[in-house]
Amino acid sequence: MSDQSVEQPISTRVRIVHLADHTGKLQVIFPYESMLDMAAISRLTKRRFDPVANYNIEGDPLIKPNSCSTIIDQSLLESDVIELRSSAQQSYKSYSKDEFSGRFQGPLSRYEKIAIPLSEIAKPVADLSQDPEQMQAALGKFQSMRLQARLEETLEIPPLPASSHRIIQLCSNENAGTDDLCDVISLDPSLSAQVISWASSPYYGVRGEIESVEDAIIRVLGFDMVMNLALGLSMGSAFQLPQNGPRHYEDFWLSAVSHAVLMEELVRKMPSGERPRLGHAYLSGLLHNFGYLAIAVVLPPHFAILSRYIEANAHLPTAVIEMQTLHFTKEQLGAWLLKHWGLPESIYTAVRYSQTEHYHGDHHKLALGLQLCHQLFNDEAPQPSVLQALGLTAEDAKLCHRKVLSSSSELSKMVDLISGAK
């Protein structure tokens, strides 16, 4: 017998995406562990394509070879085996390189470099204290003019509403009570109405009418919850939902509210004595994706590009796509903005590390709670390490998730309160 080791064949699973413009359709085939480069497609075709499907994690079905223009990533020429499936309902089948190439011979198919391997995409810096430097370097690539030295001078940051400033000041006052909070919220009649309507929602199932902010605090939501809810609502009113975003983000505020109430449910299930503050959990859920709105407001042209990439690469975590297109993530920008505005450290830290696996730094329970929310809403199995760190069982998490899902109509009405404030 020979002791020489036999080289294992290189096997690559591929993803199929359909693109289209006003003159026709293009099929692209590229490795699953890669990101489709929409800029490369534009350079090669001299056309501006958009994905046909608005958000297709599974990938599109294979169009019969030689019946549609097809571009295949050239890295597949180096694979011995290509794993391909004709539709999401079918299993992957393995083809040798020759078999695969044979299927795509003809004038409508060609090989080009159209994908970026995930191994070549940079990652965010590990510590949030380094975020400003990374974002400043990224913005330097976007700006043709001489850059200002400070991030807040480079970005046109929307002003924080006066009501938000007052609530943040209240957050730092350890002696603040219900009367102080009522006084602050009452200065903004729209905000008062929102808080009262929120507490009156069927989601909380309170008997009798909620007639005042004081009622909402004492009978239903509690001091912390109302303070953080009011802060989130007033901040949300400062940002308009972008019109040119990815089509699956149309339910942005429903996702925000759903994360908020799921965070609330999960914290209630945690062992007493180890729970984060309920109001902070709620607010971190409500603002978990705030960086998405921030990108849309402060970098509109780049946000439009990001949106196309997100739709074309629905199989990838958004942080990977953000790092390739923006060179920082929405969590980095969102956390920096919340810190810049003076929100509590627990909130911006939780948002910053909400996509960071195995995070065990400051305020890790809030960050891991957000990670658990993401897993549940994406129909992923909760990670055992996250559950253990939070003192929860998988059944606890799933029960909380089911409760939130069963209340979707009530939550939609709560979302209307935010939309109505715009």
pLDDT tens readout for residues 134-145: 998 888 776 644
Q: Confidence band (pLDDT; 50, 70, 90) for 6?
A: low
Cα-Cα-Cα-Cα dihedral sign, residues 249, 348, 419, 218 = positive
> Any idea where the domains of the chain sit in the sequence?
11-120, 128-154+239-420
Q: Identify which has the larger pLDDT, 415 or 44.
A: 44
The mean pLDDT value for 273-300 works out to 87
pLDDT tens readout for residues 178-225: 898 898 888 888 888 888 888 888 888 888 888 889 998 888 888 888
Query: In the chain, what percentage of residues exceed pLDDT 70?
Result: 90
- Residue 235 burial (CB count, 10 A): 25
Contact 328, 154 (CB under 8 A): no
Cα-Cα-Cα-Cα dihedral sign, residues 195, 212, 422, 338 = negative
> Kindly report the CA angle at 42 between 141 and 294, in degrees rounded to 5?
45
How far, in whole angstroms, is CA 165 from its chain's centroid? Answer: 26
Residue 106 confidence (pLDDT): 87
Q: Confidence band (pLDDT; 50, 70, 90) for 345?
A: very high
Residue 148 confidence (pLDDT): 47
pLDDT tens readout for residues 366-404: 999 999 999 999 899 999 999 999 999 999 999 999 999
Contact 404, 238 (CB under 8 A): no
For 128-154+239-420, the fitting CATH number among 2.40.50.140, 1.10.3210.10, 2.40.128.260, 3.40.50.410 is 1.10.3210.10
Identify the three-state secondary structure at position 28: strand
pLDDT tens readout for residues 221-276: 888 888 878 887 787 776 666 666 666 566 788 888 899 999 999 999 999 888 99
Query: Average model confidence (pLDDT) for the chain?
Result: 87
Residue 154 confidence (pLDDT): 66
Identify the three-state secondary structure at position 355: coil
Identify the three-state secondary structure at position 236: helix
Report the CATH number of the 11-120 domain: 3.90.960.10
DSSP state letter for 206? -
The yes-or-no verdict on residue 155 having pLDDT over 80 is no
